[in-house]
Amino acid sequence: MYMVDLIQKKRDGGILSDEEIHFMIDGYTNNRIPDYQMGAMLMAICFQGLNKHETVVLTSEMMHSGDVIDLSGIEGVKVDKHSTGGVGDKTSLVLGPMVAACGCKVAKMSGRGLGHTGGTLDKLESIPGLHVDVSEEDFINQVNDCHLAIIGQTKALVPADKKLYALRDVTATVSCIPLIASSIMSKKLASGSDTILLDVKYGEGAFMKTKEDAKVLAQTMIDIGKSLNKDTRALISNMNEPLGYAIGNSLEIKEVIDTLNGHGPKDLLELCLQAGSQMLMQAHITDNEISARKLLQDAIDSKKALRCLQAMVKAQGGDDSYIRHPELFEKTKEVISIRSQCSGYIKSLNALSLGIVSMKLGGGRMVKDDDIDHSVGLVLNKKIGDYVSKDEVLLKVYTNTGLSKELEDSIYDAYHICDEFVSKPVLIEEIMK
């Protein structure tokens, strides 16, 4: 078999056989196929697409390109959740403890932030001492002990995706639905959980800009999960404004703690209740949404979910006094209030721009190896549908490096204010199974 023949076949709209996909992924992972040929294949896939069967086979080949985690040492149903990423998205850190408190086992591998979206691992690492490099044995023991572990992906997990993602990044082939779906699902499937709940976001601050694309991506991932015998469901959620009020690592951890103490933002809580309900049903803890919501709300009211977070932090070497006393988190040199220049209703709020401001303050990475400042970021005071008076605070900037005119302008440009009443956006568009 020759890679050049496969490239030509896909270029001309042909269907790749199982053997050809195996040849391609195995050859690329093991350096027998060079980047230039794989790059050409990725571009051919972008133009010609992959059918459902090809996408499933590609995912399975990628999943088996490295270690597949064996979670059979954990009793009970292991549930996993994945968000396609957004601004202020701290859902996993609220949802994980909530469903763990209700009896699910959460053995989760998360990622770091790049660009305007934050990463769960970076947020967790704002808790002093906490580490995310955990051996497979300790990971399993921790989930058995406290029902919850959120760690970094091991190096040997889906090596094909590591190489392919880096290549896609530099060949303009990232935004191709079968490639995104196989990239995400290969990692989720290799992480070994029994069920997968996807939060596919759409909007200005998300990877998928339209609801329609988000649905196609969700359906592609559900099809892959089902073909490989995993209960896979998806929420389609709105990311036209940041989730919650906080953007930035320790600021978001404080919001997580507030939410688990029962004082969180409404949108974040609602997303966690809806996602959590699906996860409890996937784990057969209950068979209906009403009782699932009640169990999840009880986990917050009784502080059981907060205790799960605390137990996880402690097990991963973190100082859990920060969970009890969030005022301990390092403070920035300055907190600058940005005040509205006019009165009216917030019509739109550009999540992408605010994510970029937070990144430029030092809260995120422009390139993979950048250091980050865990203490900086933004806390919104007004979101879409809120009324703001002239000179009222729109948001606060937490900074150690002041605020340049450029960033201040970006913040003002992110808010569109109008005279007419604006209703609150719909957060969850659809639940797909």
- The residues near 360 (Cβ < 8 Å, ≥ 6 apart) are 407
Buried/exposed 83-116: b ≥16 CB within 10 Å, e otherwise:
bbbbbbbbbbbbbbbbbbbbbbbbbbbbebbbeb
Q: Is 82 tagged catalytic?
A: yes
| Token couple for 305 | 């979910």
Q: Which is nearer to ligand URA, 119 or 362 (CB)?
A: 119
The residue annotated as part of the active site, out of 168, 188, 254, 374, is: 168
Binders of ligand URA in range 140-179 (CB under 6 A): 165
Given a contact cutoff of 8 angstroms between Cβ atoms, the answer to whether 130 and 321 are in contact is no
Examine residue 277 and tell whether it contacts ligand URA (CB under 6 A). Answer: no
- Rounded CA separation 233/219 (Å): 9
What's the min distance (Å) between Cβ of 55 and ligand URA?
A: 13
Binding residues with ligand URA: total (CB under 6 A):
5
* One-character DSSP codes across 308-322: HHHHHHHHTT--THH
Binders of ligand URA in range 11-50 (CB under 6 A): none
Stretch that binds ligand URA, among 53-61, 97-105, 180-188, 342-350 (CB under 6 A): 180-188
Q: Is 10 tagged catalytic?
A: no
Q: Which is nearer to ligand URA, 165 or 392 (CB)?
A: 165
The residue annotated as part of the active site, out of 183, 353, 358, 375, is: 183
Q: Which is nearer to ligand URA, 142 or 183 (CB)?
A: 183
What's the min distance (Å) between Cβ of 255 and ligand URA?
A: 23
| Token couple for 416 | 């569109």
Buried/exposed 35-73: b ≥16 CB within 10 Å, e otherwise:
eebbbbbbbbbbeeebeeebbbbbbbbbbbbbbebebee
Examine residue 180 and tell whether it contacts ligand URA (CB under 6 A). Answer: yes
Given a contact cutoff of 8 angstroms between Cβ atoms, the answer to whether 368 and 221 are in contact is no
Q: By Cβ distance, which residue is nearest to ligand URA?
A: 183
Residue from 59, 173, 183, 316 that binds ligand URA (CB under 6 A)? 183
Examine residue 117 and tell whether it contacts ligand URA (CB under 6 A). Answer: no
Q: Which is nearer to ligand URA, 217 or 354 (CB)?
A: 217
- Rounded CA separation 342/387 (Å): 11
Q: Which is nearer to ligand URA, 180 or 272 (CB)?
A: 180
Examine residue 184 and tell whether it contacts ligand URA (CB under 6 A). Answer: yes
- Rounded CA separation 51/16 (Å): 9
What's the min distance (Å) between Cβ of 161 and ligand URA?
A: 7
What's the min distance (Å) between Cβ of 179 and ligand URA?
A: 6
What's the min distance (Å) between Cβ of 433 and ligand URA?
A: 22
Which parts of 147-288 fold into alpha helices (H)? Answer: 159-170, 177-190, 211-227, 249-260, 266-282
- The type of residue at 400 is N
What's the min distance (Å) between Cβ of 168 and ligand URA?
A: 7
CA dihedral sign, ordered 338, 344, 346, 348: negative
Cα dihedral 159, 162, 168, 171 in deg (nearest 10):
-100
Binders of ligand URA in range 195-224 (CB under 6 A): 207
- What residues are annotated to the active site? 82, 161, 168, 183, 187
> Which residues of this chain interact with ligand URA, rule CB under 6 A?
165, 180, 183-184, 207
